[in-house]
Structure 1
Amino acid sequence: MIDIATRPGVTQRFLYIAPESPKAAVILYAGGHGGLQLDPYGTFGWGQGNFLVRSRQTFVSNGLAVAVIDAPSDRQSVPFLNGFRLSAEHAADGKAVIAWMREQTKVPVWLVGTSRGTQSVAAIAIALASGGGPDGIVLTSTILQDDKGGSPVTGMNLSALKVPVLVVHHKDDACRYCPVSGTSGLMEKLTGSSDDGLMIVSGGSSKGDPCEAFAYHGFNGVEGEVVRAIAEWIVAH
């Protein structure tokens, strides 16, 4: 468990796991409200089932150092990251974690988000495009439509992104905010990216709410293959 100072009076907690010689590093942003409520012993108060959270060790097994990021200390109650993901404060927290990961690992640092975590990843990378940002980003199950007062990723200034961008989506994602048909419009807006890729996934199984972690939205049943493909793409870039 790592706690670092990010803003005056604010700390950012994350769970850090790494192989002996990482090829790259990833900072994982969960979806939903994003408040993992990590205790000092690494126990999750919420979000254990989230695609990225439950796959954290698989990223490590594929050669990547991992930070599973919680909400910051001033967002440790409802609404957690809701209404905060696009803020300058969230970007400042992200910048501090990126710097820590770079210093710790000495390898490229990427941001990886899933569902509402893609709003965090895109917003942080855009805010830090002029310096201190990630070496690349991965958007999985991207928020492409939003009726909750937030901003879909497609509504952000994606042309500001100069780093590589990988978009990963399940072809049968039935979450109303994440129609696979919207991925083509997302890719068209990545005009400044140094490289971009679209990975459409199939297979697995879907259980429960189509916007939750064990539906196709959360790559249920194909997590290992998806994480391996993401890791290979990151290392290649």
Structure 2
Amino acid sequence: MLKRLVCLAVLLSITAASTASARDELVSARLPDGKDIPYVLTTGGGTPRYGVILMPGGSGNLDPRLIDGKLTLSLAGNFLIRSREIFAEGPFVAASTDATTTPDRILAIVRDLQRRYGSIPVYVIGTSRSTDSTMTLSPALDGMVAGFVHTSSMNRIASFDTRRFKSRHLVVYHAMDACRVTKPSASASARSNGAETIEVAGGTSTGDDCEARAHHGYNGIERATIDKIKAWIAKS
């Protein structure tokens, strides 16, 4: 028992140190036409072997900016955005950006990450309304990114056939998501169309069923959910 407690304490201290060392930086990637796209680069102190691009749900407008030297974000409470430091732990680096259906915007960030860290595989992750973006981007970016992760997906995920794609696809959902436009049954049925799926449970639900602090936004189980996503990415 004592040995197990010591191991748990060591694990918790490592996790706390990793989170504490996470750092946000406002950077930019360049489009072919010369326009710069701002995004938030979050690093956790490790050597990145994987990159994730995080797109918030809702309006999808992250609008990262500095105000009096302080990083300011819209939709900062969104599941993916508030959890970006967890995504950046270990051999991962996270890029938070506006939700988009424009392939060149995603590719610009992919190229910038690979310029910084070498030819790491990059995954595009959306949640709720931004899964409309991940589904729309999938054909155009197939084989150009390592994969897509669709969390709390819009109901059309049920008919989204991933068997035609080279890039990997993961669908993540909360068993008690009560949002009418992101039904768990729709996400669960995605496995019949070639996507791998992960169902999670637990946490607490407050406020609107379709908002970030409900089960829809993995409230209280952020780390457990993200650990499952990262484990899926790392087994590629």
Report which of the two has the higher share of helix.
2
How far apart, CA to CA, are the structure 1 residues paired with 2:113 and 2:151? 21
Report the counterpart of residue 92 of structure 1 in structure 2: 104
1:32–1:117 Cα contact (<8 Å) kept: yes
Question: Is it true that 1:102 corresponds to 2:123 in the alignment?
Answer: no
Q: Secondary structure at the match of 1:61?
A: coil
Question: Is it true that 1:65 corresponds to 2:93 in the alignment?
Answer: yes
1:123–1:156 Cα contact (<8 Å) kept: no
Which of 134, 137, 154 is the aligned partner of 1:143? 154
Distance 1:42 1:99, change over 3 A: farther
Q: Shift in Å at residue 126 of structure 1? A: 1.6
Q: CA RMSD in A?
A: 1.9
1:13–1:38 Cα contact (<8 Å) kept: yes
Q: Secondary structure at the match of 1:28?
A: strand
Larger of the two Rg values belongs to structure: 2
Report the counterpart of residue 217 of structure 1 in structure 2: 216
How far apart, CA to CA, are the structure 2 residues paired with 1:61 and 1:202? 23
Unmatched segments (≥5 aa) in structure 1:
71-80, 145-151, 191-195
Q: Secondary structure at the match of 1:32?
A: coil
Distance 1:208 1:165, change over 3 A: same
Q: Secondary structure at the match of 1:43?
A: strand
Report the counterpart of residue 13 of structure 1 in structure 2: 38
How far apart, CA to CA, are the structure 1 residues paired with 2:209 and 2:77? 14
How far apart, CA to CA, are the structure 2 residues paired with 1:141 and 1:164? 17
Question: Is it true that 1:127 corresponds to 2:134 in the alignment?
Answer: no
Instruction: Name the TM-score, length of structure 1 as normaliser.
Output: 0.80
Report the counterpart of residue 231 of structure 2 in structure 1: 232
Which of 30, 39, 47 is the aligned partner of 2:56? 30
Identity among equivalent positions (%) equals: 30
Paired residue total: 207
2:41–2:93 Cα contact (<8 Å) kept: yes
Instruction: Name the TM-score, length of structure 2 as normaliser.
Output: 0.80
Unmatched segments (≥5 aa) in structure 2:
1-25
The answer to which structure, 1 or 2, has the higher relative contact order (CA under 8 A, 6+ apart) is: 1
